[in-house]
Structure 1
Amino acid sequence: MTRSKMFPIQLLFCVLLGGTAQAAGTSEVSDVLIQLFFLVLAASVGSWLFSRLGLPSVVGQVAAGVLIGPSVLNAVQDSLTLEALAEIGAIFLMFMVGLETRFKDLLNVGKEALLVAVLGIFFPMVGGYFFGLMQGHSNIESLFLATTLVATSVGITAKVLQEIGVLDRKFAQIILGAAVIDDILGLTILAVVSGLGKGGDISLLGVLTTLGLSVGFVVAVLALGIPLLRRFQKQLRNVPLASSFSLAVVVGLGLAALSGLAGLAPIIGAFLAGMVLSEVKDEYEFESKVHALEDFLAPVFFAMVGVKLELGLLGSPVVLMAGGVLSVLAVLSKWVGGFLGALSQGRKDAMLVGVGMVPRGEVGLIVAGIGLSYGIIQKEVFAQVLLMVMVTTLLAPIVLKVLVRPEARS
């Protein structure tokens, strides 16, 4: 980056490091480090500020990225290096989500959670697809737009339920179980749609091939990975790696890479790797270290989502109107699916389940980011999805806290 292209705050930072001569001739590595410094600093401040306000920290990280990005301060620009770091952040985020998800827990969530998950995918998928077609988008872009509506944020929902002290309630267990199933099915749908997006056309053979590859990959990893890990658990202690943490990282990155080579999204492999390793995480000391790595890299991903957003697009009446309609569709489709799926628990608890399934959070951002990086969706659609993610992520925790009676929080 030359002096003429540097934002004044970057010049000041370079001066503090060693003078204007260094600023004028900043190396590429130094340039990346400076931008990474601003990115991590802004994400940390945004996360802290939004947490203090009682709002989801991931939204604060995205807002921080918008602030320091080209749309406002221009302190950080999109680059291949930062994009790679952001993708690694998404990989470790989903790896950590997988570590917190045991396969046996999915088998015990009950028929209500499964029904909530399926209906919570069906209604958003259908609604999002036809909404995309009504806007004049192609089949692929409409499918990807629908895919962004599918997932439920496990992290945000779990945090809210924990804060109000109802994690042991039946409706809360249904929400968490359905959210996890949503993520698995949603990631499978993401694999299918992103695979089709790379090919360019939709055909029955293409859908069946990609679906078969996706389902086959998921089944193979879970059906073979967990038994093999249990069988050779003792031998793994003799593997010549520095620590169990190193082995965990190797497995996570390896399955993420294998998933990418298979034509699927790398985050699918990372999520499955986490699920496999969750079976032995209590016997090895690596979860806290993986969490520390994710805690550093994941904010880079969310901040880069904000950096990519052209703020001027949100000022467009077309984007605002379409994003508003998409937000309403996202809220209603998830709420209806959750409500109908949990009606056996009574109308009040069914309503709570519906609200708890609404936030898209980090999973919605990951899907939108992948769609933009693959060139499947345009920046205008990305802005609409980002608006939808922020609305659902902010709205659901507030409504959930209001609906849960104080006496039910004990």
Structure 2
Amino acid sequence: MKRSRCGAWCLMLASGSALATSSGHTGELLFGLFWVVLAAALMGTVASRFGIPAVVGQVVAGLLIGPSVLKLVRPEEFFLTLAEIGAIFLLFMVGLETRLGELLRVGREALLVAVLGIALPLVLGFGFGFWQGQANVSALFVGTALVATSVGITAKVLQELGVLNDPFAQVILGAAVIDDILGLTLLAVVSGLGAGQDTTAAQVGLTLGLSVGFVALVLTVGIPLVRRGQARLQELSLSRAFNVALVVGLGLAALSTVAGLAPIIRAFLAGMVLAEVKDEVAFESTVHAIEAFLAPVFFVVVGLQVNLGALTQLPVVIAGLVLTVLAVAGKLLGGLLGARSLGRREATLVGLGMVPRGEVGLIVASLGLGAGLIGEPVYAEVLLMVLLTTVLAPLALRALLRRERLVQQAP
């Protein structure tokens, strides 16, 4: 009898302890979310007041409240997941503002920008690593880190300025899709080489084929299906139409394990499919409301993941600055050459739009460090490059666009 009572009491105490621990962790996460949302709102507003893209202020907010400065929030799995969902909704919203016909009109330029924007940074990054005396695989991984592009950051700046439908913006978005396909294929190959695996041409071709095939399938099958169901969609209430949009967007994003594409690119494709009926079916405003909440979380978490403590050594800073120059030059030159048919101004904007590395660069760098492909010093150099391209490129893009607007408005 005593044993049973003791067992019951022990069970109750253990359950209460687990509940308290769970409750404490939940409270910590809620406080963390509070700081993330507050910092995003404050720094985004401050940045906008000074004519700086809100996304830059939000990335800086992440740096301030993160482990490197105030230590208010840690980049836990919860925030990383929430940030990824924010990026998905951001690109879904961008897709809703992009029609396939507009993208196809700049298909040639988008392909050239993507290919050159991968080849040039890859060569420059490999050369930099080779000059530093790194092993071939390590140098190749540095080149792969330079290939990465965070289209989410550029897309938000273009969305803020209301230029998503301009030809140069369509080239950036089209190039981002191709860049994702080729870049992730390259990452898979380099990671395989680093792990000592035999990466065959057939495996590379399969990865590439799955990615290209999925994009083609979504656009060639999805758009006709949505057009056929347009009449039924128009009969739905706002909430039900939104549910349909949500299922399509998240459903395609969730298929990332099948074809190797990043979820944000799939969300962009889903948005493009639904863009064909957005004028007849009113769900864009509700999607925008969710995106307006979650997208800033994504940019703050980008800042949270940056470890400023790794950038305390002068040789690392100098090497990181050199790597940043190469990273900017590779993408900018790729845009200037690939989109030169649009004119020098638009081609420059395209190049700048492909410069930010953001969360994609952080992920690539973390993979390289975790797999032992690069050491701590090289990781810190790549980290500085990611931080500078993420913050400076949107500033340059906005400044150039605003200057062009002033010139056009001048009498």
Q: TM-score range by the shorter chain?
A: 0.7 to 0.9
Match of 1:187 among 168, 180, 192: 180
The within-5 A match list for 1:327-366 is: 327-341=324-338, 343=340, 349-351=343-345, 353-360=347-354, 364-366=357-359
Spell out, residue by residue over 1:191-212, the C-alpha distance to the aligned partner (whole angstroms, 9 max, x if none). Answer: 3245446654544233212111
Change in 2 beyond 3 A, CA 1:132/1:215: farther
- The 3 A distance-change label for structure 1 pair 139 and 270 is farther
Q: Which amino acid aligns with 2:387?
A: L
SS at match of 1:282: coil
For this pair of structures, how many residues does the alignment match?
A: 376
- Tell me, in whole angstroms, the C-alpha distance in 1 between the residues paired with 2:210 and 2:107: 27
Residues of 2 paired with 1:244 and 1:232: CA distance?
Answer: 12
Does 2:254 align with 1:253?
Answer: no
Contact 1:356 1:400 in 2 (8 A): no
Following superposition of structure 1 onto structure 2, how do residues 7-406 of structure 1 map, counting pairs within 5 Å? 27-109=24-106, 115-116=112-113, 118-135=115-132, 136=134, 138=138, 141-149=141-149, 153-157=154-158, 159=160, 173-196=166-189, 199=192, 200=195, 201=197, 202-236=199-233, 242-341=239-338, 343=340, 349-351=343-345, 353-360=347-354, 364-372=357-365, 374=367, 375=370, 379-380=379-380, 381-402=382-403, 404=404, 406=406
CA–CA separation in structure 1 for the residues paired with 2:296 and 2:86 = 7
Q: Which amino acid aligns with 2:250?
A: L
Is the 1:330–1:358 Cα contact (8 Å) retained in structure 2? no
SS in 2 for 1:358: helix
- State which drifts further: 44-53 or 115-124: 115-124
Does 2:402 correspond to 1:409?
no
Distance in 2, matches of 1:28 and 1:158, equals: 36
Q: CA deviation at 1:106?
A: 1.2
Q: Which runs of 5+ in 1 are unaligned?
A: 1-22
Deviates more, 1:134-143 or 1:48-57: 134-143
Cα drift, residue 368 of structure 1: 2.0
Q: How far does residue 25 in structure 1 lie from its aligned partner after superposition? A: 9.4
Q: Is the Cα–Cα contact under 8 Å of residues 65 and 73 in structure 2 kept in the other structure? A: yes
Distance 2:345 2:238 in 1: 50
Normalised by the length of structure 2, the TM-score is: 0.79
How far the C-alpha of 1:217 sits from its partner, in A, is 0.9
Separation in 2 of the partners of 1:387 and 1:122? 21
Listed as ranges, the gaps of 5+ residues in structure 2 are: 1-19
Q: Percent identity?
A: 44
Give a deviation string over 1:32-81, Cα, whole Å, max 9, x none: 11110001111111111111111121111111111111111111012121
Question: Mean Cα displacement is larger for which, 336-345 or 81-90?
Answer: 336-345
The residue type paired with residue 62 of structure 1 is V
> In the alignment, residue 358 of structure 1 is paired with which amino acid?
L
Is residue 95–residue 270 contact of structure 1 (8 Å, CA) maintained in 2? yes
Q: Is the 8 A contact 2:218 2:269 kept in 1?
A: yes
Amino acid in the other structure paired with 2:395: L
The answer to whether the Cα contact below 8 Å between 2:324 and 2:389 also exists between their aligned partners in 1 is yes
- TM-score, normalised to structure 1's length? 0.80
Structure 1 pair 289/322, CA: closer, same or farther in 2 (3 Å)?
farther
